[in-house]
Chain A
Amino acid sequence: MPREDLGQLTWPRLVGTTSGLVGLLLASLLGATAIGPAGVELAKVLVSGPPPSPDFVIVFEVRLPRVLLAALVGGSLAGAGCALQALLRNPLADPHILGISAGGSLAAVVAMVWGGALLGAAVTVPMAAFIGAAASTAAIFALGRVRGKIEPYTLLLVGVVYNAFAGAMVMFINSVVDLYQAHGILFWLMGSLSSKGYAVVFSLLAYSATGMLLLLARVHDLNLLALGEDAASSLGVSVERSRRTIFLASALLVGAVVSVSGLVGFVGLIVPHVTRLLFGSDQRLLLPASYLVGATFLVWADTLARSLIGGIEIPVGVVTALAGAPFFVYLLRREKQKLLEGA
């Protein structure tokens, strides 16, 4: 190792780690596509003259879009979580806990029930979810600031209240619509990735890619903002502009995800945290790595959700919440410990 080395991020490490994670994701996509209730023979899948064989249909029309969707949802949530944790300087930040997902889901429900006629549900629901998520982000941030400083615990409390409020509004809407719609909303809210076509995959891909590109363009700022606003500013960051971009990008990522898969909680919390433990805090590696780890994580979580109990599908949001809630308590306790030690 050369004398000049300070353990800093280098191109070989950045490229190597990212490629490794891409490989892992691709392998997971393949692996997860092969797993399912119906036995599928690879040879029969690939040899498929018209009319398409049942195996071809199962793999390419049912499983693959679902696995791809899981990857995009997981990646987007982890990317947004990673950015929000940096921006709010709070390792407990997560789109779900802060209430951004809930705000998006409220707007999405409104659009589902009343907005479908406007432009067609495929356009209005993600749009509404994005606007709802963006508005919630702005509101939560404004309420979580005390004398210009972001107080971690105030922010979490605001998130709790916001979640409760948006949840109540959704339940209210749910109770006034007809039973069929109510069931659809409920199942969607639980966080499900079932039976969506390629159109949804491509729509989410567009939102997800835009959000991530916006964040990657601000990747230095995400590092510098960890030092606090004054220090970031004195290092050349246009704090306000940067913050707006990061919020917008997070809202794009979260809004689109919510509109497709409802409330899949804790991915944005757990994944960046574990990724940080593995690869360090530098956002230039952490942000893309979080996305890839999040994508891989949700592909397997969804595979578990649809194959854990034979014949029954558990919403993937239930799986992530069951894993995530205890993890959050663990983090909270550790943060409290740190605060007490620091005092």
Chain B
Amino acid sequence: MALLEIRDLSFAYTREAVIAGLSLSISPAEMVAVAGPNGSGKSTLLRLLSGSLVPDQGEILLAGKRVGEIGRRELARTIALVPQHTRLDMPYTAAEVVLMGRAPYLGRLGLEGPADVAIARRAMEQTGTLDLATRPFSDLSGGERQRVVVARALAQRPSVLLLDEPTAHLDLRHQIAILELIAELNEERGLTVIAAMHDLNLAALYFRRLVFLKKGRICAEGPIPSILDRSHIREVFEAEVAVARNPATGSVAVLPLRPVKERERIE
């Protein structure tokens, strides 16, 4: 059975639909990348899946149950979201941020118990952030912050991890480190991962399935080798690319090209 079943989903912030009649089925332990131009609805889709937004039409079923009917706290124990940016104006320490991932498990006035602390500690070990524990979150670099936020999401002990452009604003080393961690969790723990990805090459390297979004609709979707090609990219991004193979891994590599007219003039 599908873990997540999205049926005819529509959503609009104002009048214009950002998600327009989208249907998608995701099985447990899948790793799905969502790609598309700016404003295609990637972030909105993730926000709908996390329950932050309520769909105007259609429904999202989590293990057969409508997301809207699952309590917020119960949902937070199953689905975790890593937003694109996390800005924190108050001087919380990194460990305090990670421990916030335990909030869905705490009583109304409760503090984190030893078990919660152990889970948070483990999440910080996995993300290599334990050394940062007592540093103020707002003093950390972009890469460190992103890893702390991922640790917070892991502390929720979710079965679905949603990531909104997890590699944006990171240097190459940290991009790879984050995706390695996520791939590892996917393989070892069977964590289902859905990530909005801008970088198609990184998506091809780490993900198996790709969903192309355009104007809130699915333009194409399927296993990466079969849909990550010139014609789909032209259709979705209105950009010309050459598609080659990564000589080392054999994964699809997308190479941007200058528009045709420019090229002709050069030739």
Chain A contacts to B: CB under 8 angstroms:
4-11, 14, 85-86, 89-91, 148, 216-217, 219-220, 223-224, 226-231, 233-238, 276, 280-282, 284, 338
User: Are the C-beta atoms of A6 and B47 separated by less than 8 Å?
Assistant: no
In chain B, positions 76-116 with a C-beta closer than 8 Å to chain A are 76-77, 79-81, 83, 86-93, 95-101, 103-104, 106, 108-109, 111-112, 114
A–B pairs, 20, beta carbons within 8 Å: A4-B118, A5-B117, A6-B124, A6-B133, A7-B134, A8-B96, A8-B111, A9-B111, A85-B90, A89-B89, A220-B103, A220-B106, A223-B103, A227-B100, A229-B52, A230-B81, A233-B50, A234-B52, A234-B80, A236-B73
Q: Compute how far the CA of A175 lies from the CA of B73 in the bound complex, rounded to whole angstroms.
A: 54
User: Are the C-beta atoms of B88 and A227 separated by less than 8 Å?
Assistant: yes
Residues in B with CB closer than 8 Å to A10 are 111
Q: When A7-B134, A235-B101 are in contact, do A281 and B86 touch as well, CB less than 8 Å?
A: no
User: Are the C-beta atoms of A226 and B75 separated by less than 8 Å?
Assistant: no
Q: Of A8, A89, A224, A280, which is in contact with the most chain B CB atoms at under 10 Å from its CB? A: A8
Q: Compute how far the CA of A216 lies from the CA of B110 in the bound complex, rounded to whole angstroms.
A: 11
Give min CB distance, B177 to chain A, whole Å.
22
User: Are the C-beta atoms of B72 and A236 separated by less than 8 Å?
Assistant: yes
B186 interface residue per 8 A CB criterion: no
Residue from B83, B104, B111 within 8 A of A230 (CB atoms): B83
Residues in A with CB closer than 8 Å to B74 are 236
User: Are the C-beta atoms of B100 and A6 separated by less than 8 Å?
Assistant: no
Residue from B13, B76, B86 within 8 A of A227 (CB atoms): B86
User: Are the C-beta atoms of B47 and A230 separated by less than 8 Å?
Assistant: yes
B147 interface residue per 8 A CB criterion: no
Q: Of A7, A9, A11, A217, which is in contact with the most chain B CB atoms at under 10 Å from its CB? A: A7
Closest to A234 in B: B81
Q: Of B52, B77, B134, which is in contact with the most chain A CB atoms at under 10 Å from its CB? A: B52
B121 interface residue per 8 A CB criterion: yes
Number of residues in B with C-beta < 8 Å to the partner?
48
Q: Of A6, A229, A238, which is in contact with the most chain B CB atoms at under 10 Å from its CB? A: A6
**3 shortest interchain CB distances as A-B pairs:** A236-B76, A236-B73, A234-B81
Q: Compute how far the CA of A5 lies from the CA of B100 in the bound complex, rounded to whole angstroms.
A: 15
B120 interface residue per 8 A CB criterion: yes
User: Are the C-beta atoms of A281 and B91 separated by less than 8 Å?
Assistant: yes
Residue from B52, B90, B101, B133 within 8 A of A86 (CB atoms): B90
User: Are the C-beta atoms of A7 and B81 separated by less than 8 Å?
Assistant: no
Q: Compute how far the CA of A235 lies from the CA of B105 in the bound complex, rounded to whole angstroms.
A: 10
Q: Compute how far the CA of A236 lies from the CA of B103 in the bound complex, rounded to whole angstroms.
A: 8
- With A231-B86, A237-B72 given, name 19 new contacts (CB 8 A): A6-B124, A8-B95, A10-B111, A14-B111, A90-B89, A223-B92, A223-B103, A226-B90, A226-B92, A227-B86, A228-B86, A231-B83, A234-B50, A234-B52, A235-B76, A235-B156, A236-B103, A276-B91, A284-B111
B216 interface residue per 8 A CB criterion: no
User: Are the C-beta atoms of A6 and B99 separated by less than 8 Å?
Assistant: yes
User: Are the C-beta atoms of A228 and B87 separated by less than 8 Å?
Assistant: yes
Closest to B136 in A: A281
Give min CB distance, A307 to chain B, whole Å.
36
B166 interface residue per 8 A CB criterion: no
User: Are the C-beta atoms of A219 and B109 separated by less than 8 Å?
Assistant: yes
Residues in A with CB closer than 8 Å to B92 are 223, 226, 280-282
Q: Compute how far the CA of A6 lies from the CA of B133 in the bound complex, rounded to whole angstroms.
A: 6
Closest to B79 in A: A234
Residues in B with CB closer than 8 Å to A7 are 93, 95, 133-134
